[in-house]
Each structure stands twice: as structure tokens, then as C-alpha cells.
């Protein structure tokens, strides 16, 4: 033990952060203790408050400290379409990309029977209730383009089909700015089969 | 504002950590809120406790939650030499490298008159008192190999010279495992002028 137990405990605790190994933890701890104690205090307060107060929106399961999140409260959002995502990070990515102005529903994961994650854990009853109540014209199933994400999208479509809504899924294809030679075969063949008329 | 103010405040506060930009802050916040709230609580506690309790050792100015740090308390450390470093991180690096078994003194910076950092801020009176009291045979001036580190080393040697101790400085040279072609000219010329008889 090089340092005091209190500092060692801090080093260890910082490693709960994703991407933080022993060296970064040391750099962070020393930075806070040596150069920015006020910033450290703010972090303690902010993290404590977030852990204490932030829960799920009762309507869309986005993270919020209120009963209903600001996106659900926002009357200017289009109420005709609902976008179903696996995580708040996905929601943020879509919002940052811009272009979508409808509502969201956050699953917080995907179906994974082996890990005991079933329809209940994903709030699918709440989703069904939301779709029943608000008469969306379209539901964008924006789960991840993975085997589990696909399976989850299929399961949801199956469950909600009786409600008579239209489902869509994000387009597969080559990413913008990428080089074809580095695109994987699966993506490339999906991009081929989904090719579009060229507007010149 | 995508998220709740509380989450936004957490994102902002995480950015006091060195090397954490907006994207990492988001990943960290969502990880803690979505997957490891218990880890987040532990981090709050550990950081709060460290900020509250950790100060400087009264003897060597290393970080500690006690009056005197565990290195100073350790009677097995050699009491003949004292290693002066700029920061606790330098102390940790030397300890991890192994080989040195003496005592330390931490300056918490280097002389920088323009930033108002003078001898007082570096605890040089405490250092002088330490050297007077403990009769070290050697003082290793392990400040950084930079202009400021050199200047600080010279200043300290000048100040303590009347006490009749021997000073040393870490060897300059090419780093182990490096390739000569990538070593900068200054380092290379110091390595040349400091060349040693080859023991084969």
C-alpha cells in the first residue's frame, strides 16, 4: 500500500467508471485531491443527487428526476410516431443526429432469456399501454442491429400487431464517410439488397 | 437539453475528471445510472471521504489522512537519504519502479514566480527543517527533467548547501526499450556526455 487507505479506496472506487484502469484512476484521484477539490465536491454532489433522484419516466422509461420526462411533457413533439430504443444512450444519439421529432420508449436492454431478461424487465406492458392510449401511426423499432436487437424488435412487433399500427426499422447500409473495403460482408450485402434509385 | 437537469449536471460534473470529454462523461453517467448504482454510491462515499480527510503529511507533505503518512511512520525505510519529488504521482512512480528505500519529500509543484508559486508554496522551510533534524547523507533532487524542475532543484540545493549534505539528481539518458532514432536530440546528447564504461 503506497498511499493512505482512504486514497487507495478512492482509486479502487474510481474503477467502477467504464474505461478507467489503475493508471487513469490514479491520475483522476490525484487531479481531484491536488488541483481541483472544488470540482471534486461538485462531482460528489452531482453524482449523489443523480443516484438519489433520477429514475425512469413513468410513460417512456427515459431517465428523469420527474414522474414524466421532459420529452414526454413537450407538446411540440409529434405524437404520431414512437421510437423504441434499447438505452438512453441510443435516445441521445438519435436526438443529437436530429431529424426525428416524435416520441420515444426506452427498453433498458433487450430480450435475453438466458440472463432472465424477459418482456417484464423491458416494460413491454407499459409500451403496449402507451400504444393503446396514444394511437401512434408508426412505431420505429430502433433496437440495435444485433441478433438480440432483431429478436426484440420481432417480439415487440408480434405483441403489438393486433393494435393495428405500422412498424418500421432503421435502414441497413454502408455508413456515411466509410470506405467500402472496410465494410463487413453482412452490411455490404444488406446495402446491396436495399439499394435505392440514384437521384442525380 | 436532452435529459433532465440533474443528469445534465452530472455529465458536466464528470468533466472535471482529467481526460473525460462529453462522450466519456455520457458513457460514465449512463453506466452508473443504468448498471451500477451501488458502484456509484461507493464512489460518492470514497470521494467524499477522501476530499474531507486527505491532507498533507506534516513531515513529508505526501497525501495522507493522518498527521504523518505511512511512509514516514515506516521505521524500515532507510533514513539516510531523502528523495524530493514534485508530486505524489512521481512518488508513486518511483515506489512502483522499486529500488529506492529511503524517504520522500513532496513539493506539490515547482518554482514558478509568474504563477506566484514561490518557496513557501513548496514547503521549502519544512524541507529545510526536515533535513536539519534528520541528518540525511544524500538528497536526491528528483524534480522533473524540465526547465522548471531544474530551476527548482538548483534553488533547493542552493538553500540547503550550508547544511553540508550531498545532492544528487536522476541520470539523464535514453529510456529503456526505446529506439535511438526516436529519442530527441537533447536527451541523446546528454546520454552521450554521460556515457558509462561498458561492462561486458
Contact B92 A54 (CB under 8 A): no
pLDDT band of A163, cuts 50, 70, 90: very high
Give CA–CA dist B110/B121, Å, rounded. 9
pLDDT at position A151 over 60 = yes
| Residue B195: per-residue pLDDT | 86
Q: By percentage, how much of chain A surpasses pLDDT 90? A: 78
Task: Tell me the chain B residues in contact with residue A53 when contact means C-beta distances shorter than 8 Å.
Answer: 6
Residue B140 lies in a domain: yes
SS3 of chain A: helix, strand, coil, percent, to 5: 50, 10, 40
CATH number (domain holding residue B93): 3.40.1360.10
State the smallest CA–CA distance between residue A129 and chain B in angstroms.
23
pLDDT at position A1 over 70 = no
Residue A57 lies in a domain: no
In a structure prediction context, what are the per-residue pLDDT tens digits for chain B, which is 200 residues long?
Answer: 466 899 999 999 999 999 999 999 999 999 999 999 999 999 999 999 999 999 999 999 999 999 999 999 999 999 999 999 999 999 999 998 888 999 999 999 999 999 999 999 999 999 999 999 998 999 999 999 999 999 999 999 999 999 999 999 998 888 888 888 888 888 888 888 888 888 77
Q: What's the structural domain count of chain B?
A: 1
Segments forming the whole domain that contains residue A120 = 76-169
pLDDT band of A105, cuts 50, 70, 90: very high
pLDDT at position A4 over 90 = no
Contact A3 B64 (CB under 8 A): yes
Contact A6 B89 (CB under 8 A): no
Residue B45 lies in a domain: no
Give CA–CA dist A49/A56, Å, rounded. 15
Residue B196 lies in a domain: no
Please, are residues A56 and A114 in contact by the beta-carbon 8 Å criterion?
no
Give CA–CA dist B140/A118, Å, rounded. 63
Residue B154 lies in a domain: yes
> Which candidate from B4, B46, B92 shows the least CB-CB separation from A63?
B4
DSSP B58: T
N residues, chain A: 200
If you average pLDDT over residues A33-57, what whole number do you get? 96
Q: Which helix (H) or strand (E) holds A49?
A: helix A37-53
Residue B110 lies in a domain: yes
> Which candidate from A16, A49, A92 shows the least CB-CB separation from B42?
A16
Model ipTM value: 0.84
Residue A59 lies in a domain: no
Residue B71 lies in a domain: no
Amino acid at each position: 500500500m503506497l498511499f493512505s487507505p482512504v486514497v487507495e479506496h478512492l482509486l479502487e472506487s474510481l474503477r467502477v467508471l467504464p474505461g478507467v484502469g489503475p493508471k487513469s484512476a490514479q491520475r483522476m484521484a490525484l487531479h481531484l485531491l491536488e488541483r481541483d477539490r472544488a470540482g471534486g465536491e461538485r462531482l460528489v454532489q452531482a453524482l449523489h443527487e443523480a443516484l438519489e433522484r433520477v429514475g425512469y419516466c413513468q410513460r417512456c422509461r427515459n431517465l428523469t428526476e420527474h414522474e414524466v420526462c421532459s420529452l414526454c411533457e413537450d407538446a411540440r413533439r409529434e405524437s404520431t410516431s414512437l421510437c423504441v430504443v434499447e438505452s438512453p444512450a441510443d435516445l441521445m444519439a438519435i436526438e443529437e443526429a436530429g431529424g426525428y421529432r416524435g416520441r420515444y420508449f426506452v427498453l433498458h436492454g433487450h430480450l435475453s432469456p438466458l440472463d432472465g431478461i424477459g418482456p417484464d424487465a423491458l416494460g413491454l406492458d407499459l409500451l403496449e399501454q402507451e400504444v393503446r392510449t396514444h394511437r401512434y401511426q408508426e412505431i420505429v423499432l430502433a433496437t440495435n442491429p444485433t441478433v438480440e436487437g432483431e429478436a426484440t424488435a420481432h417480439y415487440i412487433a408480434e405483441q403489438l400487431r393486433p393494435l393495428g399500427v405500422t412498424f418500421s426499422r432503421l435502414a441497413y447500409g454502408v455508413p456515411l464517410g466509410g470506405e467500402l473495403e472496410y465494410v463487413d460482408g453482412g452490411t455490404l450485402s444488406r446495402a446491396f439488397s436495399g439499394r435505392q434509385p440514384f437521384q442525380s
